[in-house]
Structure 1
Amino acid sequence: MQLNKTKILVLILLLIITASVAFYFYQKDSDLPPMTVQEKKARFKALIVPAVNTVYTKLLSQYQEVKKTIEQGKSSEKIKQLKIEYKANTHDELLMALKPHPRSIAIAQAAMESSWATSRFFRKANNIFGVWSFDEGEPRIAALQKRGDKTIWVKKYRSVEEAVFDYYRTLARSAAFAEFRQTKMITDDPYVLVTKLDRYSEKGHLYGEELTSIIKFNKFTDYDKD
């Protein structure tokens, strides 16, 4: 137990150092005023939490409606269209896709991926989750750094709410997160679920550990209670 606490404290310290360094460079490329850590987090919450709450509520309502229809043995055109949209072959797969995961996870990922809403991707494109773009026809912006000779593109959203919805939709559709979807039908424990997000980041299993630290340190599970 003591080793686990020590490990979490070390991760938190590393995250704080990383965020501080990243924030310094982000501010050099932005018109953001100097902020304390507390001010930065307060700004982040004001920008992100309302959008997460709105999207989560809508998705939960849709999930409950579809679940009720399926349990009644009924079918509908809406369910057929949702199966196509979410690449679901069965009712069970559709429900796995539609059930929204805890808000604490979404908020923690937003904080990590956007350096608390200070990243260039967020400021220029409302891209709070670092979602890449592979479609030349959609709104997007180029990253400042390349991978070899290849330009990295990220999606550009009209609003934070649109970005949050697309993030939930990505986790609901991608084959990479099939185990994550299966697990959220068994538990709503964010600390269990984040261990299934190793494919969201090149950090692998460390990604889940960092999310765990962010959720615990910032008490983000409070957003899962209502």
Structure 2
Amino acid sequence: MSGSHETPDYRSTWLGLGTALVLALLIAAWLLASTRQPAPWEGAVDLRPLPSLPAAELADHLEEQGYTWPPEGEVPAVAVQTMPTDMAGLDGDERKSLFFRIILPLAVAENRRIEAQRAFIKAALPGSSRPEPETAEAARVRELAHRYNIDPDLPAGKLRQRLLHRADTLPPALILVQAANESGWGTSRFTQQANNLFGVWTYNPEEGIRPTRAGAGTTHSVRLYQNLQHSMSGYIHNVNAGHAYAELRELRARRRAEGDPVTAHALAAGLERYSARGEEYVAELRDMLENNDLTDMGLRRVALVDGQ
């Protein structure tokens, strides 16, 4: 054993600890930002959070506010935070009714948020001009471009076109049946444990839970969400920005340009790549639309009202 002894360099130690702390804070901030719901835009609807309740108690609470299924014009602007853990205990009709009532306000509110984005894009990029650099409006345009994976330095006209192509709404009826299909009407493990309504994946193991039947050699997890509203926002953004759903966006843009209604039945064709079942999956969604009497235009007229 050596008899030599070095005096500890406490300044270096503290600098090292300080650097590690800063790095940890930066990582934490990045993780928080990656799971945070997008910031609200002007015109967005603020939903009142509802705490977790047993299924029957939640159904009674909604009925007390006059919110039944199918809705009659107005639904309360409420956000159920987590799916009731006893959804599987309800009979089929009761489970469907409660599930749709949980999901519809989330879908309508997210569509309203996107409509506000579209209004901003049209105002900020009216033609070949763009906002003055270094303004809040210009920063907002760049933020949207980055969010939708678009080059923010494109010519103004092209940037406007591509933003409006991606920042667009989805038919509520399509959202409802896909949520029901992917979550097993709110009973799946991923919905119950991860607030994941749509089976969205992540390849970061710290942001998800592994499927129990994941194949050998696979590395994906099912993404964890803070609440059901975050899951809704993440799903619609995935459809609007993910490369796998370019066909759906083309269908939507073409129908808009030709003056045809953007229906759930039509857009379902763009979801072949959402499932390994492809065309069979699309047919199943369309069957669900028909079997559950989900009319596109009726749900589009739904208004969110503040309730207590």
TM range (shorter): 0.7 to 0.9
1:204 to 278, 282, 286: 278
Q: Partner amino acid for 2:263?
A: D
- Residue 159 of structure 1 and its aligned partner are, at CA, apart by 0.8
- Residue 219 of structure 1 and its aligned partner are, at CA, apart by 2.4
Give the structure 2 partner of residue 224 of structure 1. 300
Q: Structure 1 stretch 96-105 or stretch 216-225: which is displaced more?
A: 216-225
- Secondary structure of the 1:154 match is strand
CA deviations on 1:115-167 (whole Å, 9 max, x unpaired) are: 11111110111100001111234x31121212125464100111111000000
Does structure 1 conserve the Cα–Cα contact (< 8 Å) formed by 2:205 and 2:221?
Answer: no
- Secondary structure of the 1:219 match is coil
CA distance in 2, matches of 1:71, 1:92: 11
Give the structure 1 partner of residue 89 of structure 2. 34
- Secondary structure of the 1:158 match is coil
What aligned pairs does 1:135-154 form with structure 2 within 5 A after superposition? 135-137=204-206, 139-150=207-218, 152-154=220-222
What aligned pairs does 1:61-210 form with structure 2 within 5 A after superposition? 61-71=116-126, 73-75=129-131, 76-89=138-151, 90-137=159-206, 139-150=207-218, 152-187=220-255, 188-210=262-284
CA distance in 1, matches of 2:197, 2:88: 19
CA distance in 1, matches of 2:111, 2:291: 22
Instruction: Using the aligned pairs only, state the percent identity.
Output: 25
CA distance in 1, matches of 2:150, 2:170: 17
Does structure 2 conserve the Cα–Cα contact (< 8 Å) formed by 1:145 and 1:152?
Answer: no
The answer to whether 1:56 aligns with 2:111 is yes
Displaced runs of 4 or more, over 4 A:
30-33
CA distance in 2, matches of 1:189, 1:32: 29
TM-score normalised by the chain length of structure 1? 0.80
Q: Which has the higher helix share?
A: 1
Does structure 1 conserve the Cα–Cα contact (< 8 Å) formed by 2:195 and 2:224?
Answer: yes
How many residue pairs were aligned? 196
Does structure 2 conserve the Cα–Cα contact (< 8 Å) formed by 1:198 and 1:207?
Answer: yes
Does structure 2 conserve the Cα–Cα contact (< 8 Å) formed by 1:176 and 1:199?
Answer: yes
- Secondary structure of the 2:210 match is strand
TM-score normalised by the chain length of structure 2? 0.60
Instruction: Extract unaligned runs of 5+ from structure 2.
Output: 1-84, 132-137, 152-158, 256-261, 303-308
